[in-house]
Amino acid sequence: MSAALEVRGLTAGYGAGPVLHDVSLQVPDGQVVTLLGANGAGKTTLLRAISGLLPTSGSVLLRGEDLTGVAPEQRVRRGLAHVPEGRGVITELTVEENLRLGGLWRHGRTALRARIDAEYERFEPLARRRRSLGHQLSGGERQMLALARALVSTPDVLLLDEPSLGLAPQIVHSIMQTLRDRCDETGLTVLLAEQNAASALSIADRGLVLHLGRIRTDAPADALARDAVLRHAYLGY
């Protein structure tokens, strides 16, 4: 199976020293691959590096195209979307305005309207609150908005950082199932960074365990879910 996203020998950090050390991975086309690890393992750093938000050595390939030197907004144009930890919603803008920003780099006016309407159908709570400001939304609604805004751009590859953080289990289940459904229906490819390993593995095809900036395990999701020794050693449960 071809890789929609490939990382080769990636090293990145924030100035004092590298957080990631020679990381290589592949995310096959149309699959959900979950990136697991404790706090400080380097999950957020890896997603930021793939998005072009950090200087790196090594390379990132999107459907075989090397993105070295490509600016973050140009990576969006080429089909890479990133939902950061903490939702990333612009609280001073309405739901509708946030969604319009999601398609800024990828769609003309007519196509953007169609994409926004499609996300309102999928995320009904957002449709009811389309004129509400971001700061007026609940935590679950903000996470839905952050995800919908990324999907408005119809990305080939979606990077998603800790979508379950601080949310009730029912909302987490709904968001995870939406991701799985979107991949099955449209061929979307997802790299999902999560500390909630059980939730992430329930929808993933494969799992990668990141520990101290290095990939320690790459295995089918169901095998990782059954591996009690690995869960205790690297995932903390």
Chain segment 116-159, per-residue pLDDT in tens: 999 999 999 999 999 999 999 999 999 999 999 999 989 999 99
Record the pTM: 0.92
pLDDT for 237 beyond 60: no
Chain segment 154-194, per-residue pLDDT in tens: 999 999 999 988 888 988 898 899 999 999 999 999 999 99
Band (pLDDT 50/70/90 cuts) for residue 227 is confident
Alpha-carbon gap, residue 222 to 194, rounded angstroms: 16
Q: In order of start, what are the domains of the chain with their CATH numbers?
A: 1-78+159-237 (3.40.50.300), 80-154 (no CATH)
24-49 per-residue burial string, b: 16 or more CB within 10 A, e: under 16: ebbbbebbbbbbbbeeebbbbbbbbb
Band (pLDDT 50/70/90 cuts) for residue 222 is very high
Lowest mean pLDDT among 41-50, 78-87, 207-216: 78-87
